A and B are shown apart, each in its own frame.
Chain A
Amino acid sequence: MPLSFEQILGSVDERPTLAAYARAAREIRLSAEQLRPVRISLLSTFTIDSLVPYLEVEAARCGFAANIYLGPFNAVRQELLNPNSECLSRQPDIVFVAQLLCDVCPPLVNDFLALDETRLDQYVTEIVSDTVATLRAFRQLSQANLVLHNFALPSYPPLGIYEPMEQESQTSVIRRLNARMVHAVKTVPGVYILDYERLCADAGYRNWQNDKMWYLARAPLSAEALLALARMQTAFIHASFGRQRKCLVLDLDNTLWGGVIGEDGIAGIQLGHTYPGNVFRHFQEVVLQLHRRGVLLAINSKNNQTDAEEVFRSHPDMVLREEHFAATRINWRAKHENMVEIANELNLGLDSLVFFDDNPAERALMHQALPEVLTLDMPCDPPKYAEVLLESRAFDRLSFTLEDRRRGEMYREQAARGQLEHTATSLQDFLDSLKLEISICSVDQFAFPRVLDLINKTNQFNLTTRRHSAGQLTEMIADPMCDAFYLRVTDRFGDNGIVGVAILQLKNRTAYIDTFLLSCRVIGRTLETGFLSFLVDWVKSQGATAIEGEFIATTKNAPAIEFFALHGFAQIGGNGASSRWRLNLNDVSFQMPHYIQVADEMRAKV
């Protein structure tokens, strides 16, 4: 009988050795059809073959069947630039480029002290410009995400203890090189840096390197390094293709503070600047940092609400305050019922939620009742809370946008809108009083990351749920027959930021809708009518006579199901989950709703 994934993963957790990983990788291959396939190309300037079993197993942990292509030894550029290379002809989803400075630029490693400042600068500039040129050329050939390792610092600095005092030390030159690389790489869409330097430092340079294997086979990575690197690469795979978690749902007693508020009272709980209270205070700081990174927070706790509120309002050492939480359920009901309510209130799918609770029984119940929720295996020892939460990488992303920074604030504004909606006497009244103002622009480099984020995250108001990589989106924008627009919305409560995306393809005087989506934050305000009305005017000006689109049903996009019918499109085909719709532009019966102001100066730009 084949082993279950849990048994296989359990075996490597118990014994994380190469032998165990090699065996687990073989067992996983036997039942890989349950996993989502991802084609990985691993290019390297050194021998990295031993990474494969680790990467296969760690990818499976995140739900992926890793189909790994290992490039020939030290042929990175050939593999990336030759359109017929094995790497490119396999059409990878993601490419990892592992490089060592001693391979990329030997003098910077071996002759460092013999080089003058001009020469040093020349080498650094050359590496950066070569890399960018290679990446740009690669981008023309492939739409895969590319993850480039940066350079590690020397484990034995040439100047010994004086190294930190010298401005032009090898250490500082490599740091500068890494910084310039980030800057340069950001000009190529879909390319990301893996902080290899940081990874080595985490393990310790001496533990990272296996000298004997380096000399024997140019295989520098120790067993510990292989595992750490596989985990980090998996985080990139997950952030590229995996389910993005959006909200952290927390318990209170023995999670945000030590002890039980209902029994110990506000003066008795552990929370403060000395042990054990400092452990919980620090954990709250970590959670607050996640919040500032764009993760929504919610509470799901069995307590008397007034007891908990007292802590939030009057405990001097609370870092988290009520304002940081987008939804709160403090009551004595079953936690999975609360969880469903939280998801509904925030307009999120259950699979966007992460549950953190110290009580193993509550976790087991949650896991059983709502397997879509990621229930983290929280350690018994509070000092390890932060590590487990962050190491889960549940909230790791490949971008950090203005919308992420402002997300918490935006949800508070959303709550104020909810209040208004309750007091308004009619929907019309509500929409009138919101003072909606929109602007619609072609997607430019500033909007690009957020637009990419929306395309890959939006589930509900999304007609086609087509996901596009950075490379694909770049290609679409560059195509003269394709137009990509974003929608930005402001109202009396604040700026909602970029909340809508439409991509149209013009062919034979018909505009085809590739993508049309709205963020769940702004569903129910008829913005789709405003957006569509703009698109109608736009495609008319481009000579089109009709718009065609598809509705591709998923388990989540019911909010968009009526979109075509409501706007007078006629169904022209389709079966079951997918239907095709067409609107002749002479028959358009809707217009920009009168309560939506269009910011004209922005519109003129398109």
Chain B
Amino acid sequence: MSALIKSEDRLTQTVAEVFGVNPYLLSEESSPSTVSSWDSLGHLNLVIALEEEFEVNLSAEEVLAMRNMGSIRRILHQYGVQI
């Protein structure tokens, strides 16, 4: 079990906003199986929101590889995003 992450973190904020969940309850393991509104259509919204928030253009492969918060963070790091 990893420690809870800081709520002011931009990734956590974005995920919380898109899915309407409390940012303090999100962790690096948060995923479609732990967040009820994170279904396949919710994932679409999340991708659009991430691209807007971090000004990146994700590839289709990356969209599919985003299985939880931790993997999203790793992919964003590859774009040089500081979070």
Contacts and interface: CB of A to CB of B under 8 A. Distances in A.
Interface of A: 17-20, 22-23, 26, 47, 49-50, 53, 210, 212-213, 215-217, 219, 222-223, 226
Given A18-B48, A18-B52, A217-B44, A212 B60 contact: yes
B30 to A, nearest CB: 16
Contacts, number: 56
Given A22-B20, A23-B20, A17 B52 contact: yes
B49 interface: yes
A288 B52 CA distance: 40
B58 A212 contact: yes
Interface in B35-61: 40-41, 44-45, 47-49, 51-53, 58-60
B44 A213 contact: yes
B43 to A, nearest CB: 8
Interface in B60-79: 60, 63-64
A222 B49 CA distance: 11
15 contacts: A17-B49, A18-B48, A19-B49, A20-B17, A22-B20, A26-B20, A47-B41, A49-B44, A50-B41, A50-B45, A50-B48, A212-B60, A213-B44, A213-B48, A226-B48
Given A213-B47, A216-B60, A216-B63, A19 B40 contact: no
B17 A22 contact: yes
B7 interface: no
A53 B17 CA distance: 12
Nearest to B14: A19
- The A contact surface, by secondary structure, is helix
Contacts of A53: 45
The 10 A-B residue pairs with the shortest CB-CB distance in the complex, in nearest-first order: A19-B17, A19-B49, A17-B52, A18-B49, A49-B41, A23-B17, A18-B48, A212-B60, A223-B48, A19-B14
Given A22-B17, A216-B60, A17 B44 contact: no
Contacts of B18: 18-19, 22
A212 B52 contact: no
B34 to A, nearest CB: 19
B64 to A, nearest CB: 8
B10 to A, nearest CB: 10
Given A18-B18, A19-B17, A22-B17, A212 B41 contact: no
Interface string B17-41: 1101000000000000000000011
Contacts of A222: 48
Interface of B: 13-14, 17-18, 20, 40-41, 44-45, 47-49, 51-53, 58-60, 63-64
A212 B64 CA distance: 11
Contacts of A19: 13-14, 17-18, 49, 52-53
A109 to B, nearest CB: 21
Contact of B45 (A22, A210, A215, A216): A22
- The B contact surface, by secondary structure, is helix
A223 B41 contact: no
A192 B58 CA distance: 37
B65 to A, nearest CB: 12
A314 to B, nearest CB: 53
A47 B42 CA distance: 12
A18 B63 contact: no
Contacts of A215: 60
Given A47-B44, A50-B44, A217-B40, A22 B60 contact: no
A176 B21 CA distance: 48
Contacts of B59: 212
Nearest to B19: A22
Contacts of B20: 22-23, 26
A20 B28 CA distance: 22
Contacts of A210: 48
B49 A22 contact: yes
A17 B47 CA distance: 12
A50 B14 CA distance: 15
Contacts of B13: 19
A418 to B, nearest CB: 56
Given A20-B17, A23-B20, A49-B41, A223 B60 contact: no
Contacts of A17: 49, 52-53
A212 B43 CA distance: 13
Contacts of B45: 18, 22, 49-50, 53
A313 B77 CA distance: 67
A87 to B, nearest CB: 19
Contacts of A26: 20
Contacts of A22: 17-18, 20, 45, 49
A212 B50 CA distance: 14
Contacts of A226: 48
Contacts of A47: 41, 44
Nearest to B42: A49
A535 to B, nearest CB: 55
Nearest to A26: B20
A21 B18 CA distance: 9
Given A18-B18, A19-B53, A20-B17, 12 more contacts: A18-B48, A19-B13, A19-B52, A22-B17, A22-B49, A47-B41, A47-B44, A49-B44, A49-B45, A213-B44, A213-B47, A215-B60
Contacts of A223: 48, 51-52
Contacts of B63: 212, 216
A557 B13 CA distance: 51
A439 B64 CA distance: 69
Contacts of B40: 217
Contacts of B48: 18, 50, 210, 213, 222-223, 226
B6 to A, nearest CB: 18
B83 to A, nearest CB: 14
A426 to B, nearest CB: 69
A18 B54 CA distance: 13
B79 to A, nearest CB: 15
A190 to B, nearest CB: 31
